[in-house]
Chain A
Amino acid sequence: MARVLQGGLIAAVTLMLAGVAVKFATGDLSAPSVTITTILAAPSAGDRLMAAGIAVLVATPALNVLLLGTMWWRQRDLRFMATAAFVAGMLAVAAVVGG
């Protein structure tokens, strides 16, 4: 789990820093908003990189939940596999009901 968290954070920070560099290099200091479905459709390359970094950051704990559920399923610890599945389901609900 530690490797997933660390890897996710490093990837997210790298994308964010790249996005900032592109924004400043192109002199574009606009601050548009993004939604879940428009991450890759953000106005500029810099915005897309930063948005992708945020998406990776958001996905990291969610991926962790899925990996824990898979691990507990393999261990036949079905009660906690179901718990992880419920939490993952709530995250999916959040993405859908918010829109």
Chain B
Amino acid sequence: MDISAGVFVGLIGLGIAAGGLGALIGIGGGIVMVPVLVVGFGYDIRVAVATSLVAVVATSTAAGASYAREGLTNMRLGLTLETMTTVGGVTGGLVAIVMAPSVVAGVFAVVMAVTAILVWRHVESAEDDRLTAVPPGSVSGREEPGGLAGIYLERTTGQLIRYRARRLGLGSGISLVAGMLSGLLGVGGGFLKVPAMTLGMGIPTKVAAATSNFTIGVTAISSLLVYMARGFVHPMIATPTTLGIVAGALGGARLSPKLRPVTVRRVLAVVLFVVAVQMGLEAAGVRSG
């Protein structure tokens, strides 16, 4: 396989777009990157998923450092949930490799369409604005040894917030599903993990987002190693997308205060739905355009 300089630049641009969107509205790069790599660049879906997983590891690592410094990440909770997520990730990766690419594309089309609807209907709240960027020094926290609990000080309000994880079984079950989707589709799984922690386990949103971000990288490598072992990682494709997504995430974080998230979400929802239809047509073997 050879690629042209134009395609190389295009892959960087794709990474920047995916990273920027992730930083602006919290939707990970994989949901954008995989379908564009398949529909736009014509790559095998397993190569696209492997490429996306490399990029997911990069964004998780980049953001994870920042959250870790703020003390928001509950690593005990994160790794406890990862016991099931990694099982799901390995399983999802193995299933994707033996499954027909058209079936994987069909599953991805359905997930994208659902994501598009959820993104469109997302209710904007002040909490969401705070999620897109945690100003340094605005929070500080720590987890409690020996259990799944923690505490953090929200300096903007002066509130000391204590939490303890509940319904670990529910969280673990959803984490297993998130891991399988990550391995199958090349997404981070945060769109399942964060609600599982906030709504299911009673974890504060900022802690859930930080903890999810930390675990996404571990989840991604559990299935990426499967793809890598089978030769689906092409450094000349993964490198420009990864470099682009890191740059895009940094730029998106700077742009975040200047853009209205609701506008970005609506545009993204339309794009996701259109691409979902394209992926569905590809899966059905119907030539598009």
Contacts and interface: CB of A to CB of B under 8 A. Distances in A.
Nearest to B231: A33
Mostly, the B contact residues are: helix
A94 B226 contact: yes
Contacts of B58: 9, 12, 57
A81 to B, nearest CB: 10
Interface residues of A, number: 55
Most chain A beta-carbon contacts within 10 A, residue among B54, B64, B75, B235: B235
Contacts of A58: 54, 57, 221, 224-225, 228
Does more than half of chain A's interface fall in helix, strand or loop, or is it mixed?
Answer: helix
B79 A62 contact: no
Q: How big is chain B's contact interface, by range?
A: 35 or more
B90 to A, nearest CB: 5
B237 interface: yes
Contacts of B259: none
B156 interface: no
B75 A90 contact: no
Interface stretch (B3-11, B158-166, B276-284): B3-11
B57 to A, nearest CB: 5
A7 B69 CA distance: 14
A83 B225 contact: no
Interface stretch (B116-124, B191-199, B238-246, B264-272): B238-246
25 contacts: A2-B68, A5-B65, A12-B58, A16-B239, A16-B242, A30-B1, A30-B2, A32-B236, A33-B231, A34-B231, A34-B235, A36-B225, A54-B54, A57-B58, A58-B221, A60-B57, A65-B79, A79-B146, A80-B146, A87-B83, A94-B223, A94-B225, A96-B229, A97-B94, A98-B228
Interface of B: 1-5, 8, 47, 54, 57-58, 60-62, 64-66, 68-69, 73, 75-76, 79-80, 82-83, 86-87, 89-90, 93-94, 97, 145-146, 217-218, 220-240, 242-243, 246
